[in-house]
Amino acid sequence: MSIEVQHVNKRFGDFVAVDNVSLQFNEGELTALLGPSGSGKTTLLRIIAGLEQPDSGTIRFHGQDVTDQHVSSRGVGFVFQHYALFKHMTVFDNVAYGLTVRPRATRPSKQEIRRRVMHLLEMVQLHWTADRMPSQLSGGQRQRIALARALAVEPRVLLLDEPFGALDAKVRAELRAWLRRLHDEIHVTSLFVTHDQEEALEVSDRVVVMNKGRVEQDGDPQTLYDQPANPFVYDFLGNVNLFRARIRDGYADIGSLRLRTPEYAGQKDSPAIAYIRPHDIEVFNVPADGALPARIERVAVVGPRVRLELRTEASDEVVHAELSKRHYLALTLQQGGSAWIRPVNARVFLDDEAVAA
């Protein structure tokens, strides 16, 4: 089931939640709506579900206009962040609920309902919880039951609003991998909302980055990470160092460093900002060509990775670098000692604020 969003707008008073958004979601695709709080991602999801009505614009499911259809008629499965399970019902009855409340003409038989519910519980690996109450389950188990309940009605579209937001980091990581495997099995067109960059990049086929009600960039995870469209996307997708630079005739000068920027060949002397990720900074224990001298102010060992906080001698800027623990030990670096740093990959954007000033 494909989904088409055409010029959708939504305001709450003076607040613009969704600002002229147009998107096409392909059949069988798992898409992440990613952005900070207030970016409009949940509002857009609720409009697609039919839980909110747009001020203007159109929602189409497989070419059919569903903008004015009630949520119950859209064939949507919705999974909420806080599960929304019925506390007074068993796990079995929770999953079966959407089937048991159907009109008699479309309601499956009791035997068919039982077969379908037990199949779903086996699919989410929780068949042994059928007679338990939600309060007897862990947070991760309750979230899987909520997903099974959404799938029980055989939805045309599956929508998930921060599905792992209420869980701890370890359980979130486990459920991310589980959701990806489940989607590969059922192939239901799915959209999920998250503000977790790692979650979006790891799980989805496609990521839509939103900010202030608008789409900043839309594409596959690798493209978004390697080729951010603008400073917001670069800054939002992972840690990044910012360096003040001047662009002159196709080069960006950062202190004594010079980076090629052919896209700005016509700029004579313009302020810019270079974006460089911590893992794209080489660290040396001796002077190297094109490397800046720096002092190591902090060392943090995080499992197999080491994060360094350095301060450059020339510009007194703080730089974050990341390298493998093995490489760090081979360099014999120490907190408080000297090092030399050199970017191996950078993206330079004109500093529009400085130009405007």
**Among 319, 309, 242, residue whose Cα is nearest residue 274:** 242
pLDDT tens digits for 269-298?
899 999 999 999 999 999 998 888 999 999
Instruction: List alpha helices for 110-203, DSSP H.
Output: 110-123, 139-152, 169-186, 197-203
Q: How far is CA 136 from the centre of its chain?
A: 31
Q: Where in the chain is the domain with CATH 3.40.50.300?
A: 3-236
In contact, 157 and 74? CB cutoff 8 Å: yes
Q: How far apart are the C-alpha atoms of 252 and 311, rounded to whole Å? A: 20
What does the pLDDT read at residue 103? 87
pLDDT tens digits for 310-332?
998 877 889 999 999 999 999 99
Question: Angle at the Cα of 194 (from 193 to 197), degrees rounded to 5?
Answer: 140
Share of the chain above pLDDT 90, in %: 65
State the first-to-last Cα distance of the chain, in angstroms, to the nearest integer: 49
Residue with tokens 């974050």: 320
Superfamily of domain 241-356: Nucleic acid-binding proteins (2.40.50.140)
What does the pLDDT read at residue 166? 67
Edge-to-edge order in the sheet of strand 305-312: 281-284, 338-343, 292-302, 305-312, 318-324
What's the DSSP call for residue 90? -
Mean pLDDT over the full length of the chain? 91
Residue with tokens 């009505």: 53
Edge-to-edge order in the sheet of strand 56-61: 15-25, 3-12, 56-61, 64-65
Q: How far apart are the C-alpha atoms of 139 and 145, rounded to whole Å? A: 10
Please give the model's pTM, rounded to 2 decimal places: 0.85
What's the DSSP call for residue 66? -
pLDDT band at 354 (very low <50, low <70, confident <90, very high): low
Q: Where in the chain is the domain with CATH 2.40.50.140?
A: 241-356
Q: For domain 3-236, which CATH number applies: 3.40.50.720, 3.20.10.10, 1.20.1440.130, 3.40.50.300?
A: 3.40.50.300
Q: Is 106 helix (H, G, I), strand (E, B) or coil?
A: coil
